[in-house]
Amino acid sequence: MTKHKHDNTANRFHYSTDLVIEKPFNWKQMLRLFSYILPYKKSLVPLSIIMVLINTAVRLMIPILIGVYTLDQAIVERDTSMLIKLVILIAALYAVSYFANIFRIRWMNELGQNVIYDLRKHLFTHVQNLSHRFFDQRSAGSILVRIMNDINSLQELFTNGVINLLMDMILLAGIFVILFSLSPELTLAIMVILPVMFFISTSLRKKIRRSWQTVRLKQAKLNSHLNESIQGVRVTQSYTQEKENMLYFDGVNKESFESWKEASQKNAMFRPLVELTNALGTAVLIWYGSSLIGNGISIGVFVSFAFYLGMFWEPISRLGMVYNQLLMGMASSERIFEFLDEKPIVSERENTIELKEVEGHIEFDKVMFSYDGKRMALNEINLEIMSGQTVAFVGHTGSGKTTIASLVSRFYDPDNGRVLVDGKDLKDVSISSLRNQISIVLQDTFIFSGTIMDNIRFGRPSATDEEVKSAAKAVGAADFIEELPKDYLTEVEERGNILSVGERQLISFARALLADPQILILDEATASIDTETEVKIQKALKTLLKGRTAIMIAHRLSTIREADNIFVLENGRIIEKGTHDELMNYEGEYHDLVKSQFNMLDAI
């Protein structure tokens, strides 16, 4: 029995939309990622590069000064004056290198943080403007992972990786030129190891990249479950499913841990590989180089060669780390750019019309719409809502009521047909100017963290305190707000948990009315309000809805008795329309809905 319950829990928390992205590693995408550095190409980038060049030049000079000039000349020739000058010069160069490193690290960190800031801002702004269908298909947790974790994983790449890559490439080129000039045959003998290292590292590339993709996927799944579990904790506790929820969390958490462990282990293979190559190179240097002393190279050259060889493996090692950062960055950038490449289903045409003074005349002209391309949510809908009218849409769940409201707000576009406001096709209208004319009150009210004043003002940020209070009074919210310890300045927790369901709904009414819309949509807005509060709101709405076009969607049929027109929907079609009295006299579907609802109330 327990196993059966656990299986059901596993099915409950199934995520299928955030999949590993199957794309080849391509440098065009990495260049696209690096394009976020371009705004700083005249400030932080050149400053960092100058420091890199200074530091690299100093490092390339010191081994020559120690080996060739200090050992072979100053010490061999016992030239004390030259030795002192060389010691002072080498110390000065180390000081220059020290300060160049300080400024390089400071400016590189600033560059990296700026790029991360810009990228996160760009992604968040883009996601904010995507269509509702995007959010219908993805959990909040998976979106959060991409905006936070995936971008955070790029921080090291931009802070150190990009500039270090340049520094190490210059350093390697310089070392190779100097080594070859010191002893071509010894250089070639040592460098024969590099192709082996290159072959092994290249073979690991695909595996490492795929591992980091898997890590991001598992993190998205973990975040999704955490987000859902925290928001649904009351339901979990109500059904005593804490143990089952914990079992599933443990499984997801373990998957995330194992994927990270596997990716880290593959990453860790680079360092030992470089150290092994370093050991083999050193062995070749000692074995073959010692035989050349006196037969082509001096002791000083040999020492300089040893210095340069040690320096050579250091950037090789760092390049391996940068390469790993690139692989991690590729895995994250694929997921980030997948979101950035997502186009809003509802998009604006060129030269759109700005809606400034709206009367609120709404028409649906042969509108057809489907969410999934299979089942029709609306089928050949023709309707007209006159300016200033209050109309209601009723019907069973899934009949298409909320879809009509969503099309009026242009959260979706019809597959066929037209939706018009004041005779203008909404596809020709600026989205922002349309939504500025519409306020929506939903059954599931969202309250943001902050004060009650802030939450009501969300409808119109420029509103004064007095205007906020007037809106609250108009919908009857002032009564409970003024009883709170700090009234309008009371801080509400996330989603308004300190408020009752009815109180949150009243705040959403005040928020919508403060926006002073010409079109008001109430989607099951009174479903969570008690009878006494509902009477208060109905009284306020009679005054507040004057001159506005109002669309009401309700299962609670008592709230729509006085609507100017009522549309009854079934399977995406309008099957009846008229006033409450007309539809009751008709004794059709609306009559049956009203009777069944009142019979249920009588039974209670």
Predicted pLDDT of residue 262: 86
Residue 10 has pLDDT above 50, yes or no: no
How many other C-beta atoms can be found within 10 angstroms of the C-beta atom of residue 290?
Answer: 11
Residue 160 has pLDDT above 50, yes or no: yes
Per-residue confidence band for 100, with pLDDT thresholds at 50, 70 and 90? very high
Give the three-state DSSP class for 378.
strand
Residue 517 has pLDDT above 80, yes or no: yes
Q: In terms of Cα–Cα distance, which of 166, 574, 233, 546 is closest to 401?
A: 574
In whole angstroms, how far apart are CA 242 and each of 226, 229, 234, 246? 13, 10, 10, 6
Looking at residue 451, its amino acid is T
Residue 9 has pLDDT above 90, yes or no: no
Q: What is the mean pLDDT of residues 156-165?
A: 78
Of the listed ranges 20-34, 113-127, 344-358, 372-386, the one predicted with least confidence? 20-34
pLDDT in tens, 56-99: 999 999 999 998 888 888 888 888 899 999 999 999 999 999 99
Mark out the alpha helices in 269-396 (DSSP H runs): 270-284, 290-292, 299-340
Quote the CA–CA distance of 195 and 353 in Å, as a whole number. Answer: 63
pLDDT in tens, 552-582: 887 777 778 888 999 999 999 999 999 999 9
- Whether the pTM exceeds 0.85: the reply is no
pLDDT in tens, 238-254: 667 888 888 888 888 89
**Ramachandran bin of 21, using left for φ above 0, alpha for ψ from -120 to 50, beta for the remaining angles:** beta
Looking at residue 53, its amino acid is L
Q: Is beta strand 424-425 parallel, antiparallel or unpaired with respect to 362-370?
A: unpaired
Q: In terms of Cα–Cα distance, which of 71, 568, 548 is closest to 293?
A: 71
CATH number listed for the domain at residues 351-437+564-604: 3.40.50.300
Q: Is beta strand 424-425 parallel, antiparallel or unpaired with respect to 416-421?
A: antiparallel
Selected from 1.20.1560.10, 3.40.190.80, 1.10.150.20, 3.40.50.1240, the CATH number assigned to the domain covering 27-340 reads 1.20.1560.10
Quote the CA–CA distance of 427 and 353 in Å, as a whole number. Answer: 9
In a 13 Å sphere around the CA of 429, the CA atoms on its Cβ side amount to 24
pLDDT in tens, 365-382: 999 999 888 889 999 899
Task: Supply φ then ψ for residue 376, to 5 degrees.
Answer: -80, 125
Q: What is the mean pLDDT of residues 304-323?
A: 78
Give the three-state DSSP class for 454.
helix
Predicted pLDDT of residue 494: 63
pLDDT in tens, 391-410: 999 988 888 898 999 999 99
Q: In terms of Cα–Cα distance, which of 209, 213, 259, 208 is closest to 18?
A: 213
Predicted pLDDT of residue 572: 92
Residue 47 has pLDDT above 50, yes or no: yes
Predicted pLDDT of residue 2: 40
The residue ranges of every structural domain in the chain are: 27-340, 351-437+564-604
Predicted pLDDT of residue 461: 86
Helix (H) or strand (E) holding 3: helix 2-12
Q: Which residues contact 208 (CB under 8 A, 6 or more apart)?
A: 263, 266, 267, 324, 327
Task: Supply φ then ψ for residue 317, to 5 degrees.
Answer: -65, -45
DSSP character string of 509-535? HHHHHHT--SEEEEESTTTTS-HHHHH
Q: In terms of Cα–Cα distance, which of 340, 9, 321 is closest to 147?
A: 340
For residues 424 and 319, the model is more confident at 424
Predicted pLDDT of residue 195: 75
pLDDT in tens, 412-458: 999 999 999 999 999 999 988 898 888 888 766 777 878 889 888 88
Kindly compute the dihedral angle of the four CA atoms of residues 97, 98, 103, 107, in this order, to the nearest 10 degrees.
80
Predicted pLDDT of residue 602: 47
The answer to whether 317 and 271 are in contact (CB under 8 A) is yes
